[in-house]
Each structure stands twice: as C-alpha cells, then as structure tokens.
A and B are shown apart, each in its own frame.
Chain A
C-alpha cells in the first residue's frame, strides 16, 4: 500500500483499500488539522469514514462535501482526494481557505457508497447503486441519491427495485444515507453542503423534486454563476447551472433537497466533466485538471458561506 500522501499518485484511480490507507496516512501526517471520523457502516458492513478539517473550537459552523454516492463515478472520489490534499497543503497559504478554516470546519466524505465502489473494482465497473438486498426483492441495490426524506417517492425516482433510480422501501432505509443524516443532524451547525457527482458539467442547487424556486434562489443563482466562472478560468471547461429540476430533470429524494430542507441554505450538486466523450470512463489523465477546476468553484462557495453567516 502507498507509504505516504506525498508518494500517492493523485493522477490515478485507486481501490477502496488504497483510499482508506491514504486517509490514515493523511491523518497521521497532518494530525494538527485533520482527523478521521467513523460515522457508520455500509450494508455490507464496510466503515463509512469522514475527514474533519478543523483548527479548533467546538461545534463550529461547518461545510460538508461528499463524493462517490454513485459508485461508477470514479472521477468524484479522485477529485475529493485531491481536494483533501489541497486543503492541508494550502492551509496557511491560501487566504480564503485559511480564513474559512479559522472560523469553520470542513468535512469530506470521500467514499459515500463503499460497497458499490468496491463492486466496481471487483465485478461491475458500471455499478451505480449501493449493494443492499431484501427478502423477496429480486434486484440488488438502491440509488442512494433517491433515498433521502425530502420529496421521497415523488417523480424522478423509481419504485422498481431493478431500476437504476430505485428509491428504496422508505426514506433513509439505506445505512449509507442514514449515517450522514444522523451525523449532520446531531452536529446541527452545517452551513453548506456540496455533493459531487459526474458527469455532464453542471452546478445545481435545490429543488430537484419541485419546480418551485427556493427562497434564496437569486442568491444561489448568482453564487453558482460566480463559481462556474471561477471553474472555467482554470481550463476553459463550460458548466451550465441552475436548479436541478429546471436544469436537468425532476429528481426526488435527493441529498441537496434534504440538506436545504434541513436549513442548509448553500446546498449544491456538481456534475463533473466528461468533455463530451468519455462519460463515466474519464481517463485518469483528466483527474488533476478536473480537481483543479472543481476546487476553484468549491473555494468560491466556501468564501460566500464564510462571508454570509446565518
């Protein structure tokens, strides 16, 4: 296994074991700013881990970032790893990041669907859902981004267990979702949530389950516009942006709708690049450019969250 985070190859894809080993190295090497929190276990009993970046204080306002909820979207885990390393490397140098970490904590869940991710390495590279199974149900897996309480069971999710967008038997039925719900609810002071998917180059905000604009729609629209501008400056990649239901499609039971209804005003969903050719099979050579541009957009959202306390 990799010996340290500096010898780790950030421009390659990695297995679950390699990522979990890298997490341990990161926490060891940067123990003054990073810790590892075990927030639960997946359906197949794998650990669900969250990285906490903090410079002190208690119950500080916080920012949540998750990657890999759909396991075949390998570019998202790889982007999350690169961003985690960027945070520890840039703290004390990048003024926006440093100011953010002086006042807020950042939590990153790199592998939100560990069972599905392990399965993409062992059996089916194109697997999307988790691996839960229930007596009497012929097909395996629930789409974890349809299992949240907000708008659960509405249009844009499916009640057929064999569908790729199967919502599950009831809201938060899946341990991978329940673990996040419990953690964020108990913490109670999250101010922004960013859920990273791929692909199709979009930056979106609630709602997905309804065409109704959210209360601070104008603020989110302007912030998304500023974020995609910062992203485009890096490599010229164009993103479209807007609410999920008006930009992409109606989708129910999704992470960012739940977060918004929990009072997290700055809730965003990224659909990272595919450059129009590779879909989920983005070549590893595009990991670092993708992460660099995504970081600039996330940094923009962080700065806004820091400067607009609520």
Chain B
C-alpha cells in the first residue's frame, strides 16, 4: 500500500478564470505530483487538490505568490486512510 503520510488536500476558491488557469498551470509545473480531486472548472466551484508532503512547501509558496487563497481540507491523508482501514477490519471481525 502506498503511504500518504503528510499529504494534504488543499481547497482553493478561485475568484476568476485567471486564477483557474494559474491552477491548471500548476499541473504542468508539477506533473504527476498535484492530484486534482476536484479540477479547476469554474469560479463558483472549489478546486480540491492533493499535494504530496514533499511538494507542500513549493505548492503553498506558489499559491501565496499568486495570491490564491486556500484552506486545508484534509490535514494528513494517511490518518483518514488508517481510520478507513481500521473500520473495514473491525467490520470484518
């Protein structure tokens, strides 16, 4: 099983099309690093992206430097995965 310790999901509310395209650019800057759970679609919809722990600093710096406000939707993915796995094991028991 891949481990996602420290990976976070950031939720960004892009104000306009320009900010959405900045987020799309991020996928090109960090190929196969940034995983859009909810892709950049339209300003009224949030963008959720999973960022590996190793890339967090760069990605947050990119967002800050472009004035893209974000909040942390999931602080540590592995914690939720461990809870999910434990719940499955418990149900099986």
Could you tell me which A residues sit within 8 Å of B by CB distance?
A: 9, 11-14, 122-126, 139, 162, 164, 199-200, 248-249, 276-281, 283-284
State whether A126 touches B84 (Cβ < 8 A).
no
State whether A283 touches B45 (Cβ < 8 A).
no
Q: Specify the chain B residue showing the minimal Cβ separation from A249.
A: B41
State whether B1 touches A248 (Cβ < 8 A).
no
Q: Specify the chain A residue showing the minimal Cβ separation from B79.
A: A281
State whether A9 touches B91 (Cβ < 8 A).
yes
Cβ-based interface call for B42 (8 A): yes
* B74 cross-chain contacts in A, Cβ below 8 A: 277-279, 281
Q: Which of B1, B36, B73, B87 lies in contact with A12, CB distance below 8 A?
A: B87
B69 vs chain A, min Cβ distance (A): 16
* A123 cross-chain contacts in B, Cβ below 8 A: 1-2
Q: For chains A and B in complex, what number of residue pairs have CB atoms within 8 angstroms?
A: 65
Task: Determine the distance from Cα of A122 to Cα of B31 in the docked complex, in whole angstroms.
Answer: 24
State whether A13 touches B48 (Cβ < 8 A).
no
Q: Given A164-B36, A277-B73, A279-B73, do A122 and B1 touch, yes or no (CB 8 Å)? A: yes
* A278 cross-chain contacts in B, Cβ below 8 A: 74, 80
Cβ-based interface call for B83 (8 A): yes
* A122 cross-chain contacts in B, Cβ below 8 A: 1
State whether A249 touches B42 (Cβ < 8 A).
yes
Cβ-based interface call for B9 (8 A): yes
New A-B pairs, 10, CB < 8 Å, besides A249-B41, A279-B37: A11-B91, A12-B87, A12-B91, A13-B88, A124-B2, A126-B50, A200-B38, A278-B80, A279-B38, A284-B87
Q: Specify the chain B residue showing the minimal Cβ separation from A202.
A: B45
State whether B81 touches A12 (Cβ < 8 A).
no
